[in-house]
Amino acid sequence: MNQNITYLGNKDLLNTQKIAFFAPSQIATLSVLKCYDWAIEMFNGGKCIISGFSSRMEKDVLHFLLKGRQPIILVLSRRMYSVMPQEYIKPLEEGRLLIISTSNETRQSKKNAFRRNCYIAEIVDEIVFPSAPPDNSSLFTIYKMLQEEKKSIRLLHTKE
């Protein structure tokens, strides 16, 4: 990882057991429902969830999680917010949100998003995917790497 990492919020969350949530931009309808069920389960579970929360599904999951009580780590693949989104203020004040910026770029790029996802994969205990990422997804490379490293991977929906 590069030295451009900046933090805002509760850095102690890095010392907790973390579950990553990765969702490609396109997922099957049945997987969507499984993701919502999982988000609700996490909402009540108190486990620390970490993600870039940049795909549509990741954003939907973040929306659920922000209403819960569990800790959240949001990893940006661009520079830190210049104006903090309103929905992050209360969780930051409560000490249950950490925002990490992994780049000084003004916008997210595919390259920086991949680097961010690799960073997340390195520091977590478990990774959750809606289903196995399709070959054309940028997450497929990370998924295969995690399989080779024998990391704990959970698929919320398996295609039959």
* Per-residue DSSP letter, 136: T
Q: Flag whether pLDDT at 1 surpasses 70.
A: no
How many C-beta atoms surround the C-beta of residue 1 within 10 A? 11
Confidence label for 58 from pLDDT (cuts 50, 70 and 90): very high
pLDDT tens per residue, range 99-150? 999 988 888 888 999 999 999 999 999 999 999 888 878 899 999 989 998 8
DSSP H or E segment with residue 50: strand 48-51
Within 8 A by CB and 6+ apart from 6, the residues are 79, 80, 100, 101
Confidence label for 50 from pLDDT (cuts 50, 70 and 90): very high
Model pTM score: 0.92
DSSP H or E segment with residue 21: strand 18-21
Q: What angle do CA 152, 60, 31 make, to 5 degrees?
A: 55
| 48 three-class SS | strand
pLDDT tens per residue, range 22-47? 999 888 888 999 999 999 989 877 78
4 or 121, higher pLDDT: 121
